[in-house]
Amino acid sequence: MTISTVGANYVISYGAGEVVVGASALSTTLGDLFSQGRRPPPSSETRTTRHIFKPLEETKEIRLFNIIAALKMAVAEVSMHLDPTWRARLFRQIDMLHEPDDWDDEDKLADQESFKTFLHMILQYGCMHGISLGIDNDGRILAGWEDGSSSLSFSFLPKDKVRWSVVHRQDEDIESASGISSLDRLPAVLQPYNPKAWYDNADNIPSR
């Protein structure tokens, strides 16, 4: 996917098609295409543009737009395995994580390999409700839940590795543990802390 300008409009080139939109429709157009699992409109509905495009300057806004597009495309590739309502919430969180006012020009954007590991976890263990996402200073995707003095958090590494951390309250005792595990081993490693309770009760647990 590439983005160019024609006057005050943006041209989104996607595969064999092009979509021309105004600035106000730039974000929603991309979101609609991905959330509905659609490709761009048929050629009969697109405009053929024969201008010589001047590449966009890589401003902070363009960098953020491009990473949003890349993350949503990764989700769209596996959208048939995801609950539509959960997928829509994920798209909204991706947008919220990339508000331009929250980013500086030199900030490192989301690492796509980290995001792939996150998606692989969702595909392997199902859509986890109440999940809250973040991005650390190295671009790694973060996910977590919090319930009073207890918490569960993940930092997703490339190649299906996960750095995990748990704080678990049992009666008057508080236990904490952390480590790095493969996705395959994660349920066994977390089993003493009953992680399934987080996922099953997540609608009642406030997100971070």
- For residues 23 and 154, which has the higher predicted lDDT (pLDDT)? 154
Lowest mean pLDDT among 5-19, 105-119, 177-191: 5-19
Interhelix angle 84-97/26-35, rounded to 10 degrees, is 150
pLDDT at 142 over 50: yes
- For residues 198 and 70, which has the higher predicted lDDT (pLDDT)? 70
- Cβ contacts of residue 24 below 8 Å, gap of 6+? none
- For residues 98 and 4, which has the higher predicted lDDT (pLDDT)? 98
**pLDDT tens across 62-92, in order?**
889 889 999 999 999 988 888 888 888 889 9
User: Mean pLDDT across the stretch 92-116?
Assistant: 90
Phi, psi of 113 (to 5 degrees): -70, -35
Greatest C-alpha distance within the chain: 71
pLDDT at 204 over 50: no
C-alpha 78/C-alpha 80 separation (Å) is: 6
- For residues 152 and 131, which has the higher predicted lDDT (pLDDT)? 152
Q: What is the pTM of this model?
A: 0.68
Which of 148, 136, 152, 146 minimizes the C-alpha distance to 186? 152
pLDDT reported for residue 168: 77
C-alpha 109/C-alpha 56 separation (Å) is: 18
